[in-house]
Chains A and B, each alone.
Chain A
């Protein structure tokens, strides 16, 4: 019970902090819309009907506006997971409170859980708002296809995404250059998950790497549920099963590697060094 209240307090503290920066919240919503607008505008400038036909041939759906918006909205969720976890660790290090967190009777997993809860809430609200506003701006219906199934893909995909973020957090603890690494990782993630294109455009090796990456399955699952473009394994339940496998494996790997990074830091110079 005490642990749970520590988790909720950690999430609440971060939500209160972000509520003091309304400009940042607006930016969270605006960025995915603007990000998606760039390729959408290029498509529109090249002739609406011809662009749709070409896109349909290459990506499997003529609805390139929704395709791009879904890609950028899911990307914003994934990207925020990495930013929030990495910056939480780095911020605690820089402000000198990480060492103190390790010495409190509440296990740090609960404090980290609060950060994850805050990050989930913030990124989901921003992604949904961005998708709805983007759909309104570009004149498409946001409610199409199998909405429930898309939400299931999103919900199941969130767990491995935060598992990956934890893996990344271990790297931040070691290398300590959060800004550079997160911004590189952010673009690496969007590339591998096929933010604006299907991963079939990749050469076989790169495609195999992309398929080992949970956000790729999450993005394709949401897109296929909403736009009916086809799942990797033909049926939704096969793709969802793969995502479930990631759900079991990735957090375990994340915790294991994070713990290893922590241990090695505590043995050497302590987690408060930065």
Chain B
């Protein structure tokens, strides 16, 4: 298929997802309300530790606390959906009985996967901006330093999670219904190990050592440290130069690896005749 044909296919697929999204206004409104409530709950919880407290008594955390939470949250918003949406979409096609047909069309499989998550990213972008504004209103303004490097790290971390998303889609083809439980476990595990809502210093040293094995953790650390202007003690996992290299490798290598895994799982499913089995 030509590049223009692929682009058209991508546009149509993304439009189809948007049409479906628009047909469920309750879900549309609920997702907005949900994010606002989550932000309010965690911001108010954080406020309990800092309200009326002198900066000198904050264990070196008062100043960057809002940055840690707000930037960690921004990254979490993008990453959580990117990670699981692709796998869920493949599963949904299986349940609806349309996956087999999709594989008989000449459309690129990569485009089919990426189109699933495009609307989510746009919608999440809007939600994140609104939620970050609410967080700033509750827990205070956060510094914005090095915005270009911050944007680069965000893009690389997102690219990397796209790769993890492809790998999870491969897992969905293999594990079927169990994949959702695995996804839930991983999601909660990553929430702790990547320390999106608190600094890594809060974790016991042996847990930090596990975090050091996860490239996404470097993404979280580098992104928020960069935007906060590297306050004392940040970044926490490695020097920033090393973190930028790790995040870049993750952003470039993981999509390739994830897509390769997906194609292998897909090939296996087609050979076994289990592509549409669920």
Q: Do A and B bind each other?
A: yes
Residues of A within 8 A of B (CB): 21, 23-24, 27, 30-31, 34, 37-39, 41-47, 50-51, 53-55, 57-59, 64, 68, 175, 177, 179-181, 183-184, 187-188, 190-191, 195-197, 201
| Listed A/B pairs (26) with beta-carbon separation below 8 Å | A27-B184, A38-B191, A38-B197, A39-B197, A41-B195, A41-B197, A42-B49, A45-B59, A45-B201, A50-B53, A50-B57, A51-B49, A54-B49, A58-B51, A58-B52, A177-B27, A180-B30, A180-B31, A183-B30, A187-B34, A187-B41, A190-B41, A195-B41, A196-B44, A197-B45, A197-B47
Which of A34, A38, A190 lies in contact with B198, CB distance below 8 A? A38
* A50 engages B58 (CB within 8 Å): yes
What number of A-B contacts does a CB cutoff of 8 Å give?
136
Residue in A closest to B36 when the chains form the complex, CB atoms:
A187
Contact A64 B198 (CB under 8 A): no
Distance between Cα atoms of A89 and B172 in the complex (Å): 27
Q: When the two chains form their complex, are residues B192 and A54 in contact, meaning their CB atoms are under 8 A apart?
A: no
CB nearest neighbor in A for B138: A201
Report if B126 contacts A (CB, 8 A): no
Chain B: interface size category: 35 or more
Tell me, rounded to whole Å, the shortest Cβ–Cβ distance linking B258 to chain A.
23
Rounded to whole Å, the gap between the CB of B165 and the closest CB of chain A is 21
Nearest B residue (CB) for A197: B44
B181 to chain A: which residues have CB within 8 Å?
A: 21, 23-24, 27
Residues in B neighbouring A55, C-beta threshold 8 A: 48-49
The residues of B that contact A31 with a CB separation of less than 8 Å are: 188
Q: Chain A residues near B31 (CB, 8 Å)?
A: 180
- Give Cα A64 to B10, complex, Å: 50
Main secondary structure of the interface of A (DSSP, over half): helix
A45 to B50, CA, bound (A): 12
Indicate if the CB atoms of B188 and A50 lie closer than 8 Å. no
Contacting residue for A47 out of B44, B51, B58, B203, CB 8 A: B58
B34 touches A41 (CB 8 A): no
Residues in B whose Cβ lies below 8 Å from that of A47:
57-61
- B38 in contact (CB, < 8 A): yes
8 Å CB contacts to A: which residues of B1-57? 24, 26-27, 30-31, 33-34, 37-38, 40-42, 44-53, 57
Residue in A23, A58, A64, A191 whose CB lies within 8 Å of B41: A191
Counting chain A CB atoms within 10 Å of each CB, which of B48, B65, B68, B181 scores highest? B48
* The one of A54, A187, A201 that contacts B53, using a Cβ cutoff of 8 Å: A54
Give A30 to B191 CA distance when docked, in angstroms: 13
B199 within 8 A of A: yes
Q: Other CB < 8 Å A-B pairs besides A39-B42, A54-B50, A201-B44, 5 of them? A: A27-B188, A41-B192, A41-B197, A45-B199, A197-B41
6 A-B pairs with the lowest CB-CB distances in the bound complex, closest first: A47-B59, A196-B45, A187-B37, A45-B202, A41-B198, A41-B202
Task: Name A48's closest neighbour in chain B (CB-CB).
Answer: B59
Q: Indicate if B62 sits at the interface (CB-CB under 8 A).
A: yes
B69 is an interface residue with CB less than 8 A from chain A: yes
Residues of B contacting A184 in the complex (Cβ-Cβ under 8 angstroms): 30, 33-34, 37
- CA of A40 to CA of B199, assembled, Å: 11
Interface centre among A34, A45, A179 (most CB of B within 10 A): A45
- Residues B184 and A57 in contact, CB atoms below 8 Å apart: no
Q: Per a CB cutoff under 8 Å, which of B26, B192, B202 touches A34?
A: B192
Q: Is the CB of B45 within 8 A of A39?
A: yes
Q: In the docked arrangement, what's the CA distance between A175 and B22, Å?
A: 16
Does the CB pair B45–A68 fall under 8 Å? yes
